[in-house]
């Protein structure tokens, strides 16, 4: 193994930590608080954040949508530039945090920020960011990734830079009490697929990465089982929030091969048809695993035994994939394109064209998922 592991985000876990934001941002800073459609005003979060920042000069930017768009975020970039704002505080789910990362980089970029995503222009400078997380799912609160949509062209692209990784993040499980069931389920599914993208690849005898990934997957199975009784299950919210964070903070992916094919195909489904990020993954993952089974058999066997507690058999890998699909179904998450009102002929053709446009032509840990293979995966996801 050969890797550098460094995660500089300070995690402040628990609702009472919103108050400590004031110690994390110097009072000399002009702070922009960025948020979404207003969920933070339906719980304690907005009031607590404003109270914590009562000694700072504070600006606000609201209306960052799920699957945040460059069209909206560019307005925040203008606000930052015209007021010389020098600290960004994202308050919300993955979309608000990803959007804030874009603003942080675009405000310091000489040109249109979208070039960072579309033309892979490097991020050389960015404003510092903090976050208050209210939806456990993406891991964006302590990683360096951001996924942004351009509405005009139906593109959903990602960029990564250590410069936009939050300096600190408050993880507030209490804020989850206002989350609709759909978003909680999305969180479980997204975190699940994040672990799988870094685990169901090639066997590499990485005891720490594998063992930790298996622990996180078992957590998610247990949290899904307890989903109907979550309000009386001790620490259910806390455990989901911490599990989803650890699923994509760099640790289990350090030094091992990674797939991310499900995500790349899923992003195109979301950009074209508006299906929730997590649901796009539930459509693609089982089909992709079945398509790639010969390359992933050993890890699927390991997962079957260590995560689902299945016995050795000739069909263990196939059974493991069936169990993954059953897990999604147990949460009422549909796993077929037509369940979401997408017509197969249309969807497949459009997704393949977008994957080609975005250079997503050699996906997966073996770069074996060419557009032809993606087409077969989508065909079977009907
Ligand atoms: O906008 P508000 O009013 O805040 O409402 C949001 C939104 O409607 C609501 N919500 C959030 N916290 C709430 C709440 N409602 C009630 N109570 C609360 N406590 O939930 C809705 C969805 O929010 P969103 O942020 O879109 O969800 P999520 O956290 O799942 O983020 C999805 C985005 O993250 C990207 C996805 O592609 C998608 O754009 N991803 C980012 C990654 C990363 N940066 O590492 C990795 C992921 O794979 C993913 O691609
Ligand atoms: Zn994801």
Task: Dump pLDDT digits (tens) for 288-297.
Answer: 999 999 999 9
Query: What would the mean pLDDT of 279-291 be, rounded to a whole number?
Result: 98
Nearest ligand 1 atom to the CA of 149 is 39
Answer whether 66 contacts ligand 1 (Cβ < 6 A).
Answer: yes
Confidence of residue 36 (pLDDT cuts 50, 70, 90): very high
Answer whether 281 contacts ligand 1 (Cβ < 6 A).
Answer: no
Query: What would the mean pLDDT of 79-91 be, rounded to a whole number?
Result: 98
- Contact present, 104 and 112 (Cβ < 8 Å): no
Tell me the pLDDT of the chain averaged across its residues.
97
CA of 28 to the centre of ligand 2 (A): 36
Phi-psi domain of 111 (left: phi exceeds 0; alpha: psi -120 through 50; beta: other): left
Q: What pLDDT is attached to residue 345?
A: 79
Query: What would the mean pLDDT of 142-162 be, rounded to a whole number?
Result: 97
Confidence of residue 346 (pLDDT cuts 50, 70, 90): confident
- Contact present, 288 and 273 (Cβ < 8 Å): no
Answer whether 92 contacts ligand 1 (Cβ < 6 A).
Answer: yes
319/342: higher pLDDT:
319
| Helix, strand, or coil (residue 169) | strand
Query: What's CA 124's distance to the chain center, in Å?
Result: 24
Nearest ligand 1 atom to the CA of 281 is 48
Q: What pLDDT is attached to residue 344?
A: 79
CATH number of the domain located at residue range(s) 181-381 in this protein: 1.20.1090.10
Instruction: Answer yes or no: is pLDDT of 341 > 90.
Output: no
Among 48, 46, 30, smallest CA distance to 38 is for 46
Q: What pLDDT is attached to residue 342?
A: 78
Confidence of residue 277 (pLDDT cuts 50, 70, 90): very high
Residues 141, 101: Cα–Cα separation, whole Å: 10
- Contact present, 324 and 217 (Cβ < 8 Å): no
Q: Where in the chain is the domain with CATH 3.40.50.1970?
A: 10-175
Ligand number with the minimum distance to the CA of 177: 1
CA of 136 to the centre of ligand 1 (A): 8
Instruction: Answer yes or no: is pLDDT of 304 > 90.
Output: yes
The percentage of residues in the chain with a pLDDT greater than 90, rounded to a whole number, is 97
pTM for the structure as a whole:
0.98
Tell me the residue ranges of DSSP E strands in the chain.
Answer: 10-13, 30-35, 57-61, 87-92, 129-133, 145-150, 155-160, 168-171
Q: Where in the chain is the domain with CATH 1.20.1090.10?
A: 181-381
Among 255, 261, 250, 227, smallest CA distance to 330 is for 227
Confidence of residue 108 (pLDDT cuts 50, 70, 90): very high
Q: What pLDDT is attached to residue 353?
A: 97
**Ligand 1 pocket: which of 33, 49, 64, 94 to mutate (most atoms within 8 A of CB):** 94
Q: Which of 50-54, 297-301, 315-319, 343-347 has the lowest mean pLDDT?
A: 343-347
ipTM of the prediction: 0.99
Phi-psi domain of 6 (left: phi exceeds 0; alpha: psi -120 through 50; beta: other): beta
Pairing of strands 155-160, 168-171: unpaired
Residues 82, 90: Cα–Cα separation, whole Å: 19
Return the CATH fold of 10-175.
Rossmann fold (3.40.50)
Query: What would the mean pLDDT of 305-326 be, rounded to a whole number?
Result: 97
Answer whether 364 contacts ligand 1 (Cβ < 6 A).
Answer: no
Answer whether 253 contacts ligand 1 (Cβ < 6 A).
Answer: no
CA of 194 to the centre of ligand 2 (A): 6
Give the residue, by CA position, lying nearest to ligand 1 atom 42: 138
Instruction: Answer yes or no: is pLDDT of 382 > 80.
Output: no
User: How many CB atoms within 10 Å of residue 333?
Assistant: 22
Query: What's CA 205's distance to the chain center, in Å?
Result: 26
Query: What would the mean pLDDT of 33-37 be, rounded to a whole number?
Result: 98
Query: What would the mean pLDDT of 350-362 be, rounded to a whole number?
Result: 97
User: How confident is the model over 199-252, as pLDDT tens digits?
Assistant: 999 999 999 999 999 999 999 999 999 999 999 999 999 999 999 999 999 999
The percentage of residues in the chain with a pLDDT greater than 70, rounded to a whole number, is 100
User: How confident is the model over 58-67, as pLDDT tens digits?
Assistant: 999 999 999 9
Tokens of 238: 């806390």
Nearest ligand 1 atom to the CA of 93 is 25
Q: CA 285, 289, 291 angle in degrees (round to 5)? A: 120
| DSSP result, 299-335 | HHHHHHHHTT-PPP-TTHHHHHHHHHHHHHHHTT---
Answer whether 179 contacts ligand 1 (Cβ < 6 A).
Answer: yes
Query: What would the mean pLDDT of 358-377 be, rounded to a whole number?
Result: 97
Q: What pLDDT is attached to residue 329?
A: 98
Dihedral sign, CA of 312, 325, 261, 96? Answer: negative
């Amino acid at each position: 193994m050969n890797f550098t592991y460094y995660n500089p985000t300070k995690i402040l876990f628990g609702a009472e930590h919103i108050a400590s934001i004031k110690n994390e941002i110097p009072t000399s800073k002009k702070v922009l608080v960025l948020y979404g459609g207003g969920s933070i005003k339906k719980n304690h979060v907005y009031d607590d954040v404003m109270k914590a920042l009562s000694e700072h000069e504070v600006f606000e930017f609201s209306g960052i949508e799920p699957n945040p768009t460059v069209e909206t975020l560019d307005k925040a970039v203008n606000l930052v530039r015209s007021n010389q704002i020098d600290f960004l505080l994202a308050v919300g789910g993955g979309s608000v945090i990803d959007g804030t990362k874009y603003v942080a980089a675009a405000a310091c970029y000489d040109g249109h920020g979208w070039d960072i995503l579309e033309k892979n222009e490097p991020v050389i400078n960015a404003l510092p960011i903090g976050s208050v997380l209210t939806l456990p799912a993406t891991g964006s609160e302590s990683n360096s990734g951001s996924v942004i949509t351009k509405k005009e062209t139906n593109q959903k692209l990602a960029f990564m830079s250590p410069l936009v990784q939050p300096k600190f993040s408050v993880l507030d499980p209490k804020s989850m009490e206002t989350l609709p069931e759909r978003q909680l389920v999305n969180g479980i599914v997204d975190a699940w697929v994040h672990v799988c993208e870094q685990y169901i690849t090639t066997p590499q005898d990485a005891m720490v990465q594998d063992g930790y990934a298996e622990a996180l997957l078992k957590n998610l199975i247990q949290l899904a089982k307890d989903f109907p009784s979550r309000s009386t299950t001790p620490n259910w919210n806390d455990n989901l929030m911490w599990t989803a964070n650890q699923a994509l903070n760099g640790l289990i992916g350090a030094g091992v091969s990674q797939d991310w094919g499900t995500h790349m195909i899923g992003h195109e489904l979301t950009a074209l048809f508006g299906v929730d990020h997590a649901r796009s993954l539930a459509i693609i993952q089982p089909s992709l695993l079945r398509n790639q089974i010969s390359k992933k058999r050993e890890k699927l066997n390991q997962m079957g035994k260590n995560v689902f507690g299945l016995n050795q058999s000739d069909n263990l890998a196939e059974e493991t994939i069936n169990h993954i699909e059953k897990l999604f179904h147990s949460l009422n998450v549909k796993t077929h394109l037509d369940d979401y009102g997408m017509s197969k002929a249309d969807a497949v053709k459009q997704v393949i064209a977008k994957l080609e446009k975005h250079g997503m032509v050699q996906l997966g840990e073996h770069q074996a998922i060419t557009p032809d293979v993606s087409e077969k995966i989508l065909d079977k996801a009907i």
